[in-house]
Chains A and B, each alone.
Chain A
């Protein structure tokens, strides 16, 4: 069965410091991987995706993510965090082995302190 794990419920980081939000997955077949961000009382906003090609993917708002096939990970990163980055982040995976149904992780709450 397909699954996505976000091992941290919450990540705290100081403004200006680099941030990492972790994601690991388990699928059959080649994965399509996505990161979304959710602000309070809003829907999810698409940040970036990995389909194929370069393992380092750049997305919106200065975020990037690195696909690591051997570790089945797709961690979200940003070199310098902003207070406005504080939100709920979801990792998602889609693969043929799961009928191409998108599976979302449980979410990681990011707090960036000024």
Chain B
């Protein structure tokens, strides 16, 4: 149980294009979803937290107009990297949590984004 599906797993695109990443909780309802960015050999950097039907809460230093997050249902959240540039290249990981604070977060397999 507690499966989180993230697509696509790998994206290569030209600078200036927008990229959408989907995150779905397959067998549970995710009251809260999280988006992380991970640099090589480093820990996770939380980008934003979203609750279904509400605007996402972005961490300090994360451009909300650059990284658009939509959490339209209890099983789906999307991250759109707008006008992507090479410095946006990274490994993006989504996570979902059901219920309240005692519940662990469950993670997708990540999306490796490469901007040429």
Residues of A within 8 A of B (CB): 32, 34, 36, 41-46, 49, 51, 90, 94, 100-102, 104-107
Question: Contact between A107 and B43 (Cβ–Cβ < 8 Å)?
Answer: yes
B105 at interface, CB cutoff 8 A: yes
Determine which of A45, A51, A106 lies in contact with B107 in the assembled complex, contact meaning CB atoms within 8 Å: A45
A101 to B107, CA, bound (A): 16
Question: Which of B66-74, B77-85, B108-116 lines the interface with chain A?
Answer: B108-116
Residues of B within 8 A of A (CB): 2, 4, 6, 34, 42-44, 46, 49, 91, 93-95, 101-102, 104-110, 112
What residue of chain B has the Cβ atom nearest to residue A44's Cβ? B107
A36 to B105, CA, bound (A): 10
How many inter-chain contacts with C-beta < 8 Å in the A-B complex? 50
A48 vs chain B, min Cβ distance (A): 9
Question: Contact between A43 and B108 (Cβ–Cβ < 8 Å)?
Answer: yes
Determine which of A42, A46, A105 lies in contact with B106 in the assembled complex, contact meaning CB atoms within 8 Å: A46
A73 vs chain B, min Cβ distance (A): 18
Show 30 A/B contacts (Cβ-Cβ < 8 Å), sorted by A: A32-B101, A32-B102, A34-B104, A36-B107, A41-B109, A41-B110, A41-B112, A42-B109, A42-B110, A43-B6, A43-B93, A43-B107, A43-B108, A43-B109, A43-B110, A44-B95, A44-B105, A46-B2, A46-B104, A46-B105, A49-B102, A90-B44, A101-B46, A102-B34, A102-B46, A102-B105, A104-B43, A104-B44, A105-B43, A107-B42
What residue of chain A has the Cβ atom nearest to residue B110's Cβ? A43
A17 to B103, CA, bound (A): 32
* Chain A residues with CB under 8 A of B106: 46
